[in-house]
Amino acid sequence: MTDSGDALHIVCPHCHTTNRVRVAHLHHAPDCGHCHQALFEAQPVALDLTSFDKHIGRSHVPVLVDFWAPWCGPCRAMAPAYAQAASLLEPQVRVAKLNTEEAQAIAARFNIRSIPTLALFVGGQEVARQAGAFRSAQDIADWTRSHV
């Protein structure tokens, strides 16, 4: 990461405004300067066509994305563990979900061939990908941390 006096860009999960947050304040439940809601809530952020690139491209913390679809049984089975993983990873990693049925262009852009697929983005670039469902929140967190 960076020196504790440095500021990071954190995209708000609610209004998608980019906020500057000092590294030293990251663990003190920072709020959005625009909408005043929590920047981290230990829940996956639902991304869509307009918010995906903002979170991936502007965030200074890694972003873990679950590419999923509502009709996918393994996606639904993994969803509780993925939600729990957010509490293990945030605020060092933004945990997000992208419904591939609603954002087919993004799924195509990243060549998502099977779901669920987890992709980890750092500095706007994909650095790791894993297709298939994870069994536990700890497995998701361990996989993510091994690539950050």
| Three-state helix/strand/coil letters over the chain | CCCCCCEEEEECCCCCCEEEEEHHHCCCCCECCCCCCECCCCCCEEECCCCHHHHHHHCCCCEEEEEECCCCHHHHHHHHHHHHHHHHHCCCCEEEEEECCCCHHHHHHCCCCCCCEEEEEECCEEEEEEECCCCCHHHHHHHHHCCC
Q: Which one from 12, 15, 32, 75 is the annotated catalytic residue?
A: 75
**Domain-located, residue 140:** yes
The span from the CA of 46 to the CA of 92, in Å, is 18
Does 21 fall in a domain? no
Determine, yes or no, domain membership for 20.
Answer: no
Q: Which of 15, 32, 35, 72 is catalytic?
A: 72
Backbone torsion region of residue 92, taken as left when φ is above 0, otherwise alpha when ψ lies between -120 and 50, otherwise beta: alpha
Q: Is the pLDDT of residue 85 over 90?
A: yes
Mean pLDDT of the chain: 94
Among this protein's residues, is 75 annotated catalytic? yes
- pLDDT, tens digit, for every residue of 103-145? 999 999 999 999 999 999 999 999 999 999 999 999 999 999 9
Annotation says 72 is catalytic:
yes
Asked, for residue 118, whether it belongs to a domain, the answer is yes
Q: Does any domain span residue 18?
A: no
In a domain, 130, yes or no: yes
CATH number for the domain harbouring residue 129: 3.40.30.10
Per the CB < 8 A criterion, the answer to whether 44 and 82 are in contact is yes
Residue 35 lies in a domain: no
Amino acid present at 15: C
The reply to whether 29 falls in a domain is no
How far is CA 49 from its chain centroid? 15
* pLDDT value for 5: 55
**Which residues span the domain enclosing 108?**
41-145
Whole-structure pTM value: 0.93
Cis before 70 (ω within 30): no
- Give the model's pLDDT for residue 110: 97
How many domains are there within the chain? 1
Residues 11-21 have a mean pLDDT of: 96
Mean pLDDT (whole number) for 93-98: 98
